[in-house]
């Protein structure tokens, strides 16, 4: 008996919800609505056009081990409790007798009918769902068969990493005991959604009692980044220093985005790699200067120039901040400082920015920046332009060297 009571008390053993937003919208799907193909709403395009959009290939979140364990334990509990109802029926509760006294403990079985619930939604289907809705079906059984003031609610929780946040609660006011109940709930989010049943009733003392039922997990595919946009800025100057001209330039790319709601910030990092060359004429320099400049030449192929954990302090040359609205802003600057006595000069650089996650060997998303400059001789400096291209830009940003 102790084991049975412990089982009843542990229907939902996952994390406690931390916050609650506005109530959920729900509707009973009629056969016509169930068969209806919803019309697509506005779609953030994949592959990234100009302007704000989703970015990266849709990914399917991996269930945390804690969730996998809870699902296995729940499956065993559903089987045991289901057998109990089949054996005893639902006319009476669980009776206990001691020293001539008798008490009855109500038992509640509240579970989703998995084969009649959405299991996983592709990004395309999720975008097409009105209100980002999902279809769920559940059944409630009780011992005894009738409990006073019985109410059934569906709680919607969303996982970020292994932490859960309560999104909304839908009250199924017309749910009936031992009858399948179908509902279409709005508000599913990218990543892992959990729907949990809650049953309340009045006990023999007239007190309102609540028991949590079993849960259903739904995975929504989505790109790793939303509202993605890149903003380039370039500053290029020239200054006469006697017989030579000093050139200085900074080409900065700022990437702005919202992180996929199911990705835990602490598990993400941004990495920058580059390849390219800076070709200059070192023939007119002294041997000592040539050795110094030669030692600073980049290695062939891709090289890592920086990485930073999302949410951790970032170095000054690689700025990553999160604003109050949740937008991430990553800024990286390519710099040039050189004099005209090493002309001709040719710059050709390719940068890759990677969003990485601890659970994946491959980047979740990658975008690019290219920086180029070609000056043959000092007379060409006045008309020379530093050129920057990047993912999401319709045309290159070309900046002349302004006299300083």
Q: What is the pLDDT of residues 111-128, one digit of tens each?
A: 999 999 999 999 999 999
Mean predicted lDDT score pLDDT of the chain: 82
Q: How many CB atoms lie within 10 A of CB 373?
A: 23
In the chain, the percentage of residues whose pLDDT exceeds 90 is: 54
Q: What pLDDT, in 10s, does the model give residues 273-306?
A: 999 998 888 766 666 665 655 555 666 789 999 8
Least confident span in 45-54, 175-184, 246-255, 332-341: 45-54
Residue 381, pLDDT above cutoff 50: yes
Task: Find the mean pLDDT for residues 23-38.
Answer: 51
Contacts of 69 by beta carbon, 8 Å cutoff, 6+ apart? none
Res 300: pLDDT: 72
Residue 47, pLDDT above cutoff 50: no
Nearest Cα neighbor of 180 from 112, 236, 129, 118 is 112
Least confident span in 4-18, 145-159, 202-216, 237-251: 4-18
Q: How far apart are CA 190 and CA 186, in angstroms?
A: 13
Residue 103, pLDDT above cutoff 60: no
Residue 91's beta-bridge partner residues?
A: none
């Amino acid at each position: 008996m102790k084991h049975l009571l412990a089982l009843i008390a542990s229907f939902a053993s996952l994390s406690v919800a931390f916050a609650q937003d506005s109530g959920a919208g729900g509707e009973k799907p009629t056969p016509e609505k169930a068969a209806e193909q919803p019309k697509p709403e506005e779609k953030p395009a994949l592959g990234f056009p100009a302007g704000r959009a989703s970015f990266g290939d849709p990914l399917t979140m991996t269930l945390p081990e804690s969730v996998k364990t809870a699902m296995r334990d729940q499956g065993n509990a559903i089987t045991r409790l289901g057998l109990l109802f089949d054996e005893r029926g639902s006319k009476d509760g669980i009776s206990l007798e001691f020293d001539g006294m008798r008490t009855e403990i109500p038992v509640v079985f509240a579970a989703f009918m998995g084969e009649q619930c959405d299991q996983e939604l592709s990004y395309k289907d999720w975008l097409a769902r009105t209100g980002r809705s999902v279809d769920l079906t559940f059944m409630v059984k009780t011992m005894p068969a009738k409990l006073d003031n019985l109410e059934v609610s569906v709680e919607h929780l969303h996982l970020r990493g292994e932490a859960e946040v309560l999104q909304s609660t839908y009250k199924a006011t017309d749910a009936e005991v031992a009858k399948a109940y179908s509902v279409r709930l709005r508000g599913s989010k990218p990543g892992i959604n959990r729907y949990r049943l809650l049953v309340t009733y009045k006990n023999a003392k007239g007190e309102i009692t609540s028991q949590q039922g079993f849960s259903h997990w739904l995975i929504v595919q989505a790109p790793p980044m939303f509202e993605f946009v890149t903003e380039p800025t370039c500053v290029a100057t020239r200054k006469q220093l006697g017989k030579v001209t000093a050139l200085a330039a900074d080409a900065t790319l700022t990437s702005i985005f919202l992180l996929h709601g199911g990705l835990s910030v602490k598990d993400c990092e941004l990495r920058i790699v580059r390849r390219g060359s800076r070709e200059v004429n070192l023939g007119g320099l002294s041997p000592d200067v040539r050795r110094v400049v030669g030692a600073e030449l980049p290695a062939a192929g891709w090289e890592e120039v920086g990485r930073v954990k999302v949410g951790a302090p970032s170095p000054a040359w690689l700025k990553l901040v999160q604003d109050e609205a949740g937008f991430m802003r990553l800024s990286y600057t390519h710099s040039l400082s050189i004099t005209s006595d090493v002309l001709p000069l040719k710059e050709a650089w390719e940068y890759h920015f990677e969003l990485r996650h601890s659970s994946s060997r491959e980047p979740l998303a990658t975008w690019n920046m290219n920086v180029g400059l070609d000056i043959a001789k000092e007379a060409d400096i006045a008309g020379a332009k530093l050129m920057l291209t990047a993912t999401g830009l319709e045309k290159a940003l070309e900046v002349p060297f302004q006299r300083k």
